[in-house]
Structure 1
Amino acid sequence: MDKLNFAAIDIGSNAVRLMIKGIAHGETIENLTKVFMVRVPLRLGQDAFTLGRISNDKTGKLLRLVKAFRQLMQIYNVQSYRACATSAMRDAENGKEVTKYIVEKTGVEIEIVNGQEEARIVYDSHIVDELNRVGDYIYVDVGGGSTEISLISNRALKSSASYNIGTVRILNNKVDKVELLRMYNDLKLLSEVYPKLSVIGSGGNINKLFRISEFPKGRPLTTVKLREELDMLSAIPVKERIRKFDLKPDRADVIVPAAELYLQIAHHVKATEIWVPTIGIVDGITYSLCEQYLAEHPNWDK
């Protein structure tokens, strides 16, 4: 076997992703690189957060999508995979029923993971190694249905919490004010114990905001610049955002509430910059799958 490929499927509230990463024979896990990636804006959260369930229409589309992913994994000769569904499936009253149906029809096993597991998966991608720094951080992943916040102190994951606050929920006015206050209170407590917290941002929205900023890679996005971007994006209609900043339609609407949320989080921990290493749940999944395989086959790279 000359190459090992590993796949991650992320069934999110805004989009569904397939990421395939691989290493060649003789390489180590540090050489794990992207082979293929596709993102489809299914927006399951639109159903889950407004109807309380995943509709038959969205279930059918998800089924066809997972079937396509299965074919792609076969084409790329994937060694192992992991498929995770997050906030929308957690909230939908028929979430377990939908995932069971998809599994029966495709043979692709799907896990509905909680927010803490989401955070742990991303930590498994060695996000701190990307920054190559010690100190105290909060890792923030703003998704369509939830926001995961994890405390990383001196390169170790200390705690994590999940809040039902996400961009698709915000657009549909489905965020509970009590939940928002809970998050802000938790952040205030963290900042009191760890007064010099930095923020690590993860997810498609903060990645796009970083790209729009034109800041060089390896430099943090300042909250001053992020506020400028928020004001600029808020002032123009969605169609103009798509044209001017080359955004996908399903990104152009959620990017504004995402920017506001990142700014609020940074404000509550008194941070003035956000590090954006462009790592997410699919990176964590593929990294851990590769790590597990290499541990079980220690002579593979010899």
Structure 2
Amino acid sequence: MLKIRKFAAIDIGSNAIRLLVANVIEEENKNPKFKKSSLVRVPIRLGQDVFINGMISRNNAQRMINAMKSYRLLMDIHGVENYMACATSAMREAKNGQDIVEKIKKKAGITIDIIDGKREAEIIASTDLHNVIEKEKDYLYVDVGGGSTEFTIFSNGKIKTSRSFKIGTVRLLNEIITKEDWKDAEKWIKRNTKDLKRLSLIGSGGNINKLHKMSGTAIGEPLSYIYLNAQYQFLQSLSYEERISELGLNPDRADVIIPATQIYLSACKWSGARKIFVPKIGLADGIIKTLFFETSKNAENASNILSF
């Protein structure tokens, strides 16, 4: 018997806010299948406020509320069974972050969890990577956001360790990342990858997805370090306006794509990786998977209590 359930994930990042609606297809004696149904992205750059002024501006706070009202309606239209909304780096550091969370709950009816870097890395690592990861190889998973980057190391098909660093595209644009921040990330990656052989990178985030698409590389095929480095030099040679007019990048992508590429290149250099796989999954996908299994587990526990 086939059963289709709908779940939604809201990812409130430092560069944008996303709503992902996904179908979970359940069949008896088979693993559930997760299929994206709808993705809505709103370019509200919270990090621009927070990393400079420490607070989310009144204008962006109102834009957030309006976006959440819209997301609430879209989830109702899709017939979503359950949702989870997670806020990351910018909301974590905003002095008025909790106040805005309460306003959104009151005005839009959406509950938001402000998660720490460790929890963010855990959720991202829960994404389904079986189509990418080979058990005999090692991988450094790199999820680049506006305010932070999450690193997860997979060895023998399992998570070895993970860590979140305050190195993100919006922070880099505003030149508020210190040399110590870079050194800490470098030391962590080198220490945890020094004994790993045949290591490859897995890149996650809108910027690496765009770079993969721009390369013309077939879906499932990795980017090379050489290509990524050449593309980095090419992007730097163009002005912001040229990246929009000649490459067709969105205005809120045309600036952050350069610091994002810098972070991926640094991770390759420090780990020795020369291939970058781009499976097009991230925090929102991890939220869907986490939500589905938690909902199913709670339902099973409730059923067991009732039957008892």
TM normalised by structure 1 equals 0.93
Q: Hey, what's the Cα distance between the residues in 1 that align with 2:133 and 2:53?
A: 44
Residue number in structure 2 paired with 1:151: 153
- After superposing the two structures, state which structure 1 stretch, 288-297 or 108-117, moved more: 288-297
Name structure 2 gaps, 5 residues minimum.
Answer: 301-308
Residue number in structure 2 paired with 1:10: 11
Of 63, 66, 85, the match for 1:64: 66
Structure 2 matches for 1:102-121, cutoff 5 A? 102-121=104-123
Q: Does 1:31 align with 2:56?
A: no
Query: In the comparison of the two structures, how many residue pairs are matched?
Result: 297
Residue number in structure 2 paired with 1:290: 292
Residue number in structure 2 paired with 1:251: 253
Residue number in structure 1 paired with 2:96: 94
Deviation at 1:32, TM superposition (A): 2.0
Partner-residue secondary structure (3-state), 1:209: helix
Q: Which contiguous aligned blocks of 4+ residues in structure 1 show a shift greater than 6 angstroms?
A: none
- After superposing the two structures, state which structure 1 stretch, 26-35 or 129-138, moved more: 26-35
Q: Hey, what's the Cα distance between the residues in 2 that align with 1:65 and 1:51?
A: 22
TM normalised by structure 2 equals 0.91
Of 180, 186, 189, the match for 2:182: 180
- After superposing the two structures, state which structure 1 stretch, 151-160 or 56-65, moved more: 151-160
Q: Is the 8 A contact 1:29 1:291 kept in 2?
A: no
Deviation at 1:136, TM superposition (A): 1.6
Q: Hey, what's the Cα distance between the residues in 1 that align with 2:285 and 2:246?
A: 29
Q: Identity, % of aligned pairs?
A: 41
Of 154, 159, 162, the match for 1:160: 162
Partner-residue secondary structure (3-state), 1:199: strand
Of 78, 84, 105, the match for 1:82: 84
Partner-residue secondary structure (3-state), 1:137: strand
Q: Is the 8 A contact 2:26 2:32 kept in 1?
A: no
Q: Is the 8 A contact 1:9 1:17 kept in 2?
A: yes
Partner-residue secondary structure (3-state), 2:213: helix
Deviation at 1:265, TM superposition (A): 1.0
Q: Hey, what's the Cα distance between the residues in 2 that align with 1:139 and 1:114?
A: 18
Partner-residue secondary structure (3-state), 1:117: helix
User: AA paired with 2:10?
Assistant: I
Q: Hey, what's the Cα distance between the residues in 2 that align with 1:194 and 1:3?
A: 40
Deviation at 1:30, TM superposition (A): 4.3
Deviation at 1:131, TM superposition (A): 0.6
Of 141, 166, 178, the match for 1:139: 141
Residue number in structure 2 paired with 1:52: 54
Deviation at 1:75, TM superposition (A): 0.7
Residue number in structure 2 paired with 1:22: 23
Q: Hey, what's the Cα distance between the residues in 2 that align with 1:202 and 1:151?
A: 14
Deviation at 1:176, TM superposition (A): 2.0
Residue number in structure 2 paired with 1:198: 200
Q: Hey, what's the Cα distance between the residues in 1 that align with 2:174 and 2:63?
A: 22
User: AA paired with 1:193?
Assistant: D
User: AA paired with 2:272?
Assistant: K
